[in-house]
Amino acid sequence: DAGITQSPRHKVTETGTPVTLRCHQTENHRYMYWYRQDPGHGLRLIHYSYGVKDTDKGEVSDGYSVSRSKTEDFLLTLESATSSQTSVYFCAISQGWDSYNEQFFGPGTRLTVL
Amino acid sequence: SQQGEEDPQALSIQEGENATMNCSYKTSINNLQWYRQNSGRGLVHLILIRSNEREKHSGRLRVTLDTSKKSSSLLITASRAADTASYFCATDAAQGSARQLTFGSGTQLTVLP
């Protein structure tokens, strides 16, 4: 596996509480991504980062914010969790120095919002 | 909306048989990639085919790309029980935000021993 870790791996929380998921990489890759995976939807991009403090929205960004203060860390925050945000969240990285954009995925975080 | 859509959604075959999965997409692409996901794990990159390529091989994998039909296929030859997984195509669009991949909803492959 590429040097990508996600924490926590599992979390159960209640509606309305804030939640932060962390993605940490040791590969010094420029690009980092947050996806959510739901049955029947494949992976959908939430936010991505193309450098420290450089982020942009993906397809399903509403209700989520991100921050990247260091190359190795990319945080995903749910300011006020809702049941519709129950999902499996994956972080991915890529070098992005050419057009190939192969992505390497972390192990995922299973989030349940009650 | 999803760029790539896999077909079939589920496929069950006997060990030793070949498995073919198809992917259709909507817009122009730089490249198309295939990923595998074992149950409860993250995705793993299998193979990438560029828009100017028509076929590519990697071990037991064969990928074809038809840009005129906006479609790709993944063939796994001589399948093994260990090939049981979900397979996703992902497209790197030729325009728009850089370095994004759009994933399809996947094909669940079951290889029976």
Q: What value does the mean pLDDT take over residues B91-99?
A: 68
Residues 34-63, chain B: which have Cβ within 8 Å of A? Answer: 40-45, 48, 50
Measure CA B105 to chain center. Answer: 10
Q: How far apart are CA B28 and CA B91, in angstroms?
A: 9
Asked if B85 and B76 count as a contact pair (C-beta separation under 8 A), the reply is no
- For chains A and B, count residue pairs whose Cβ atoms are closer than 8 Å: 67
Question: Does pLDDT of B97 surpass 80?
Answer: no
Q: What value does the mean pLDDT take over residues B9-33?
A: 94
Q: How far apart are CA B14 and CA B76, in angstroms?
A: 12
Q: Give the gyration radius of chain A's Cα atoms.
A: 13
Q: A51 touching B, CB under 8 A?
A: no
SS3 B82: helix
User: Are the Cβ atoms of A102 and B33 closer than 8 angstroms?
Assistant: yes
Average pLDDT for chain B: 91
- SS3 labels along A87-103: EEEEEEEECCCCCCCCC
Summarize pLDDT for B28-83 with one digit per residue, the tens: 888 999 999 999 899 999 999 999 999 999 999 999 999 999 999 999 999 999 99
User: Are the Cβ atoms of A94 and B99 closer than 8 angstroms?
Assistant: yes
Summarize pLDDT for A27-58 with one digit per residue, the tens: 889 899 999 999 877 899 999 998 899 999 99
Residue A53: which region, alpha, beta or left (left: phi > 0; alpha: psi -120 to 50)? Answer: left
Question: Does pLDDT of B9 surpass 60?
Answer: yes
Q: For residue B43, what is the nearest residue in chain A, using CA coordinates?
A: A105
Backbone angles phi, psi at A85, to 5 degrees: -95, 5
Q: How far apart are CA A69 and CA A54, in angstroms?
A: 9
Residues of chain A neighbouring B88 (CB-CB closer than 8 A): 42-43
How would residue B99 be classed by pLDDT, with cut points 50, 70 and 90? Answer: low
Q: How many residues does chain A have?
A: 114
Q: Quote the tokens at residue A112.
A: 């349940």
Q: A48 touching B, CB under 8 A?
A: yes
Closest Cβ–Cβ partner in B41, B102, B104 for A107: B41
Q: How far apart are CA A4 and CA A32, in angstroms?
A: 10
How would residue B95 be classed by pLDDT, with cut points 50, 70 and 90? Answer: low
